Every structure is written in structure tokens, then in C-alpha cells.
Amino acid sequence: MATPPKTMFEKVWDAHVVVPETPDTPAVLFIDLHLTHEVTTPQAYTELRNRGLKLRRPDLTLATMDHSTPTRTEQVFGGAPIAVDSAAKQVRQLEINAREFGVELFDLRDARRGIVHIIGPELGITQPGKTIVCGDSHTSTHGAFGALAFGIGTTEVGHVLATQCLLQRKPKTFAINVIDDLPKGVTAKDLILAIIGRIGVSGGTGHVLEYRGRAIEKLSMDERMTICNMSIEAGARAGMIAPDATTFEYLKNTPRAPRGADWDAAVARWSRLPTDAGAFFDRSVDIDAASLVPMVTYGTHPGMVAPITGSVPASGDAVFEKALKYMGLEAGEPIGNVPVNNVFVGSCTNGRLSDLRNAANVLRGHKLAQGVKMLVVPGSQSVKRAAEAEGLDKIFTAAGAEWRESGCSMCLGMNGDLVPAGHYSISTSNRNFEGRQGVGARTLLASPQTAAASAIRGRVTDPREFS
Amino acid sequence: MAAVTRIRSRTVSLPATNIDTDQIIPARFLTATSKAGFGKHLFADWRYDPQGNPRPDFVLNRPEAAGCRILVAGRNIGCGSSREHAPWALQDFGFDAVVSTEFADIFRTNCLKNGLLPVLLDESTHEWLLAHPGVEVDIDVEHTTLTLPDGAAVGFPVEAFAKYCLVNGVDELGFLLSKDAAISRYEQNHGKVPG
Ligand code: SF4
């Protein structure tokens, strides 16, 4: 009998079941790659130590430092200490844990260091068909390669360290069909913000999203990562995109991709991953890409998003009103009138080389508007070097922006890179929660192009005015 | 983990929807390397003014909140960051259960792994509870019911294995470790290069 058609998610899931689930017990699922960082691991290592356990698969585990690390060159490479004491201690603790348990660590001065979700793909260890986890919700990023990748808590980090497995109930599937093509000047960031606006911040709860359709197939890997990255902002467990020639082209010759005959075998295997015709999804939604324009958030979660050409909507809801009050905005206000004091280009959503190019192309030959502060933080040291080789850093600094070492930085403000209270910050990151970029900071999420255009005018600006 | 079988307490209501884990515990407090002591930073930016003084109008600062072990929160609590510091902070503050109509996936898992009970209720019961803070409710974990002051018992779902672990104080890592032979077999069949 022919096997029934399967979704890509089911193929990856089925290939990793160590012990099948029963009504009484979840499945034991094998994890192919465990990415780790300084913030969500210390308590997991303590647990291992207390129980006298070893790391089961150091060869499938990688550690980097990104969340609480400084971005000022003198703090990373000079003698200046890390400004936040507890952050310095946490970074040291990761060094101790990595040494004791035998984990490969890209430490502060390592040329391969960067945001955990940027370096996995760069190294070529993010691959189609893998199960990938990390104590970080944006692990969904790696789904852009056709991997099943999701964030876990610290207890589960401990489970993976000790057993290379997780206890999991099988999630449901949700097809996001993106119909038609994205218009010129509308980016992957605008598309994912529109998708979140449409399905809501809990619309994907319990589901693995699969982004499908012509607009998705045409996206570069960087753009696909931007899309999958924000799956968690729709509440989804994970987001996936089918691997294709674009995926293979990206991975080929990355430092840790398979070589020679292994490469050919891998491509043959990966080519069987896309969802079979007629496979069943628990839910689906159609998104018309052709009608989209650049998108900007105006509230305190990523679902509060509007077209840049539109205005702040009205709602009788008290929670909505509270969000607008926090943002200092009123219903009916044109989005294009919102002032901008701070600009952040970076993060695992938009901190890759093409993102920096897109921002630099808008900024070239311009200056930041009076009073605007702009921080450009590459997603990894390798992105930083590549950007400098192209002279992008010069474009940013000539405009008056600051150019930093890589890290999470102002995406979550753990390292001291903060937006002052009351300031409007247009940011290429993924979360506009209250206080995310600093106590009282007012975050507007947007694409690198929109961030750069807004930096020039000092208010939210449609980047298509500069093309 | 200690067994959790019954939670009997007055409730405290926080009606905000989509309470993200950045609100539950802001990122600047995540540099700690142990699980203890996050309770004092729970909801820090809602609880304290910029000078660090408690805001008297915030529910958790009100005298009637003292000793409440059950938090009734608006729809979709725990979205955003995967930080397990969120349930650690809620527990350290004194909560044993969180009630809502919707829980973000990672947050729900993190709660269960720590013995903090996520109670997913139907909308009308939830609405009633939100509107009547301070009532005494009785949660029976084994039978997964929440009993209201009028004696009406309302059911809520908890995944079978998670419930078993809660009620019996079973530790999931121990269970996973007991699957060592199956894991080794899987590793042998799949070679060194995964995918
Ligand atoms: S860049 Fe922001 S979202 Fe991405 S891993 Fe770092 S803190 Fe998390």
C-alpha cells in the first residue's frame, strides 16, 4: 500500500522518533543539533552537576555568547571590562561550563561568534531535515532550511544536554499560503508582520507553520530566515520552509556542510523533504502578497501592526487603549507622523549581511535627522567582517550611526545597549513588548529599509520614497 | 520535584491579555546563574515605579494579594521569550497555579516542568474569576478540576504524562534517562551524521 502523503513537518518528526507517543506518554524525540548560549544554560549545567551526569553528545552541541555580551569594541577586544557585573559573571560561567562538559564554545573574541541563530546557518550546521533546539524562542529561524527547530526552556536544555532527547507531544500543522508576488519595495519583514497581524499573536499556538507559495519560493535564505524567525511571534511552535535549490546553494561550501559524495547524498535526502501533494494540514490561511505595503507596529505586541501608509486603528478594548497610552499614540494618528528618536538595525531577525546592505542602500549619502541616534549591530562577527569588506560600516558612520561588534544588543537590552524611557525606537528586531528595549522604551518594529528611511527623516518614513 | 496534588487558595486577578514573559520578568534580571530569588523582580516594571517604589495600585502590591497562590491572568499568558525565569519568578513570589483561557506553548511547558500548574479554563468561568478576585477556589490536580466557591467543579485539561509527573512528583529527566537503551539504538541506526 502506498504511504499516505505527508507534510514536511511529519517527515522530519517521524524520522526523529526514538520512542513513539502513547496516550500516557509523549514521544521521545531525538535532537540533531543543540545550540546554547550564556543566559538559559547555567541552571541546566547546575542540574547536571548535581546529578553527576555527563553531556551525552558534545558533538551535537555548540555554545556561543550573544545575549548579554557587550558590543563596544573596547569591551570585546580591549581591556575595558563588561559594564554589567552579573553579565560578566554569566559569561564566565559559560566558559567554565563549556570547559567542564566539553562543549565547543565560540567565546567573546572568537571570529566565529555571533547571535546563535545567525551562526548556525553561517557554519552550515543548520541543515534541512534536522531537529534543532536552543533555549531561545527564535530557534524557529532555522526552519527556513526545512529543519524542525524550536525554542525550549532551561529544564529542557538540561534534558537535551543529558540525553540528546526531548519529551514531546506532536504539534499540529498550519499552512501559510502566500499567494502572488511581493511588490517592489516590500520586504520579507513586512510580509511576516502582515502574517502576524492577520493570524494574531496566539494564532499559531500548538502548531508548526509551513510557509508556502510563489512569494516564499522566490525569497533568499536571509529573507526566509526573517520569516521563520518571527513564527514564535504568532505563537507557533516552529515555522518551516521547504528546502530547494536556493537552500542548497546557500549551504554548499559553508564550513561544516557535507562535502563530496556526502554532499550529493545529503542533497538527495533533503530533496525528499518537501510536503507531498495532497498532504493534510490542520489549518491553513491564504495571504495575498501583492496587496502588501511596508508594515510598522504601533503597539506593544507584534500583532499590533499597520501599513506604513495607514494610521493607528481604533478599538474600544481596554488592553488596546493601555498599549496606545504606553506608546503615546492616539487612534487615527497617521503612522507616518510618529516621531523616531532611536534606530536599531540588527538582531536575529534582520542582522544578516543583506539586511545591513538594505539599510545602507537607503542611508548612502544621507545624514541622520537632528537628534536621532542609530545603532547598527551585525548579527555575527562574520557578518561584520563581510559588511566592512564592502564598506557598509563607512556608510553608516558617515551618516552618523554607531557601528558595533555583534550580539543581541538593543533587541533585548541585556548588555546595557538601551533605549531611554519615552523614546520612540524604530527597530529591525522582533519584539515591541513594553520595556523590551529599556524601561519605558517605545518600540516600532519594521524592516531595515524602513528603519533607515525613518532615521533620515526623524519620523516613520516609507522607504519607497528613497528608491 | 515535589508532588502537586491540591491547591487551595484565594485568587488574584491580572486581566491583561497577551502578558509576555518580558513583563513577567524583564531581561535585565536574567543574568543570574541560579533559579532562586526571581520573585522580587516578578512583573518588575508594572510593580515598581522608576525609583523602585512599589506602585500601590498594582494588584500584587495590594494587601489582599498577600498569600494568594493562584494567579488569574488574561487570555494568552506567557507569549514571547522562552525564559524559564518566568515560572521561576511566579513560583518564587508564591504562586502555585496560573489560570487563563490560553497559554503560550513554551511557557506552559516551562510551568509544568517546575510544578507550576497551568489551568486552562473555559471563557465564562475565566471571565467570572477575573471579575471576582479574592474568591477561594480549590484545585484538584489528580481529577483536574477547579471548584468555585458555589461548589461547582470545572474541568481543565492537563497532558496525561505531565499530570502523572505532577501528582507523583516524578522527574521527567529520570524518565528520559531510563530510555537510554532506545536512545543508543537510535544513535546506532542513524550514524554520526544526522539529518
Ligand atoms: S537577537 Fe533578540 S530575539 Fe534574537 S536571540 Fe538575541 S535577544 Fe533573542
- A321 lies in the same domain as A459: yes
Q: Which atom of ligand 1 is nearest to the CA of B27?
A: 7
- A74 lies in the same domain as A192: no
- Whole-angstrom Cα distance, residue A51 to residue A92? 22
pLDDT in tens, B136-158: 999 999 999 999 999 999 999 99
Phi, psi (deg, nearest 5) at residue A105: -125, 130
Question: Could you tell me the domains of chain B?
Answer: 6-169 (3.20.19.10)
- Among partner residues B33, B161, B183, which is closest to A18 by beta-carbon distance? B183
- A85 lies in the same domain as A195: no
- A446 lies in the same domain as A337: yes
Residue with cell 549591530: A377
- Whole-angstrom Cα distance, residue A457 to residue A376? 17
Please tell me the predicted confidence (pLDDT) of residue A57: 98
Domain that holds residue A182: 172-242+267-290
Is the Cβ–Cβ distance between A131 and A148 less than 8 Å? yes
Pocket test of ligand 1: the residue of A132, A348, A380 to mutate, having most ligand atoms within 8 Å of its CB, is: A348
| Ligand 1 midpoint to CA A349 (Å) | 8
- Nearest by Cα to A406 from A109, A144, A86, A42: A109
Please tell me the predicted confidence (pLDDT) of residue A221: 98
Q: Is the CB of A141 under 6 A from ligand 1?
A: no
For residue A253, being part of any structural domain is answered with: no
- Nearest by Cα to B93 from B135, B136, B58: B58
Q: List CB contacts (< 8 A) between A23 and chain B.
A: 160
- Among partner residues B15, B17, B176, which is closest to A28 by beta-carbon distance? B176
Residue with cell 478599538: A315
Report chain A's C-alpha Rg in angstroms. 21
How many CA atoms are closer than 13 Å to the CA of A377, on its beta-carbon side? 31
Asked if residue B192 has pLDDT above 90, the reply is no
Q: Which atom of ligand 1 is nearest to the CA of A346?
A: 1
pLDDT in tens, A87-110: 899 999 999 999 999 999 999 999
- Among partner residues B28, B110, B173, which is closest to A159 by beta-carbon distance? B173
DSSP state for residue A305 in the 8-state scheme: E
- Whole-angstrom Cα distance, residue A140 to residue A240? 8
Cross-chain Cβ contact B50/A205 below 8 Å: no
| Ligand 1 midpoint to CA B10 (Å) | 37
The angle formed by the CA atoms of residues A230, A234 and A239, to the nearest 5 degrees, is 55
Please tell me the predicted confidence (pLDDT) of residue A381: 98
For residue A197, being part of any structural domain is answered with: yes
| Ligand 1 midpoint to CA A379 (Å) | 10
Domain count, chain A: 3
The angle formed by the CA atoms of residues A206, A209 and A211, to the nearest 5 degrees, is 170
Asked if residue B194 has pLDDT above 50, the reply is no
Q: Is residue B165 within 8 angstroms of chain A, CB to CB?
A: no
Q: Is the CB of A430 under 6 A from ligand 1?
A: yes
Please tell me the predicted confidence (pLDDT) of residue B195: 43
- A385 lies in the same domain as A451: yes
Cross-chain Cβ contact A167/B175 below 8 Å: yes
C-alpha pair distances (Å), B159 with each of A168, A184, A343, B86, B112:
11, 47, 44, 21, 10
- A281 lies in the same domain as A306: no
Residue with cell 547546575: A46
Confidence band (pLDDT; 50, 70, 90) for B162? very high
CATH (domain of A272): 3.40.1060.10
Is the Cβ–Cβ distance between A9 and A148 less than 8 Å? yes
Q: With pLDDT > 90 as the criterion, what percentage of chain B qualifies?
A: 95
| Ligand 1 midpoint to CA A317 (Å) | 30
For residue A347, being part of any structural domain is answered with: yes
For residue A382, being part of any structural domain is answered with: yes
C-alpha pair distances (Å), A205 with each of A199, B102, B108, B124:
10, 9, 11, 21
- Whole-angstrom Cα distance, residue A267 to residue A252? 10
Q: What is the pTM of this model?
A: 0.97
Please tell me the predicted confidence (pLDDT) of residue A467: 83
Q: List CB contacts (< 8 A) between B192 and chain A.
A: 59
- A97 lies in the same domain as A187: no
Cα dihedral A326, A332, A335, A338 sign: negative
Q: Is residue B176 within 8 angstroms of chain A, CB to CB?
A: yes
- A273 lies in the same domain as A347: no
- A314 lies in the same domain as A349: yes
pLDDT in tens, A251-298: 999 999 999 999 999 999 999 999 999 999 999 999 999 999 999 999
Cross-chain Cβ contact B31/A237 below 8 Å: no
A-B Cβ pairs (cutoff 8 Å, strict): 185
Q: Is residue B190 within 8 angstroms of chain A, CB to CB?
A: yes
CATH (domain of A153): 3.30.499.10
Asked if residue B193 has pLDDT above 70, the reply is no
- Among partner residues B30, B50, B172, which is closest to A414 by beta-carbon distance? B30
Q: List CB contacts (< 8 A) between B84 and chain A.
A: 40, 43, 135, 153-155
Measured torsion, CA atoms of residues B129, B134, B140, B144, in degrees rounded to the nearest 10: 20
- A112 lies in the same domain as A204: no
Q: Which residue, of A168, A202, A223, is where some domain finishes?
A: A168
- A137 lies in the same domain as A220: no
Phi, psi (deg, nearest 5) at residue A134: -160, 150
Q: Is the CB of A427 under 6 A from ligand 1?
A: no
C-alpha pair distances (Å), A289 with each of A127, A182, A444, A451:
27, 5, 22, 21
Q: Which residue, of A145, A168, A191, is where some domain finishes?
A: A168
Cross-chain Cβ contact A155/B84 below 8 Å: yes
| Ligand 1 midpoint to CA A67 (Å) | 7
For residue A257, being part of any structural domain is answered with: no
Cross-chain Cβ contact A154/B84 below 8 Å: yes
- A30 lies in the same domain as A119: yes
For residue A250, being part of any structural domain is answered with: no
- Among partner residues A24, A28, A59, which is closest to B182 by beta-carbon distance? A28
How many other β-carbons are positioned within 10 Å of the β-carbon of residue A177?
17
For residue A44, being part of any structural domain is answered with: yes
Please tell me the predicted confidence (pLDDT) of residue B70: 98
Please tell me the predicted confidence (pLDDT) of residue A1: 56
> pLDDT tens digits for chain A (467 residues)?
578 999 999 999 999 999 999 999 999 999 999 999 999 999 999 999 999 999 999 999 999 999 999 999 999 998 888 888 888 999 999 999 999 999 999 999 999 999 999 999 999 999 999 999 999 999 999 999 999 999 999 999 999 999 999 999 999 999 999 999 999 999 999 999 999 999 999 999 999 999 999 999 999 999 999 999 999 999 999 999 999 999 999 999 999 999 999 999 999 999 999 999 999 999 999 999 999 999 999 999 999 999 999 999 998 788 999 999 999 999 999 999 999 999 999 999 999 999 999 999 999 999 999 999 999 999 999 999 999 999 999 999 999 999 999 999 999 999 989 999 999 999 999 999 999 999 999 999 999 999 999 999 999 999 999 98
Q: List CB contacts (< 8 A) between B81 and chain A.
A: 136-137, 412, 431
Q: Which residue, of A168, A194, A214, is where some domain finishes?
A: A168
The angle formed by the CA atoms of residues B30, B34 and B39, to the nearest 5 degrees, is 65
Strand-pairing partners, residue B71, are B12, B98
For residue A248, being part of any structural domain is answered with: no
How many other β-carbons are positioned within 10 Å of the β-carbon of residue B124?
10
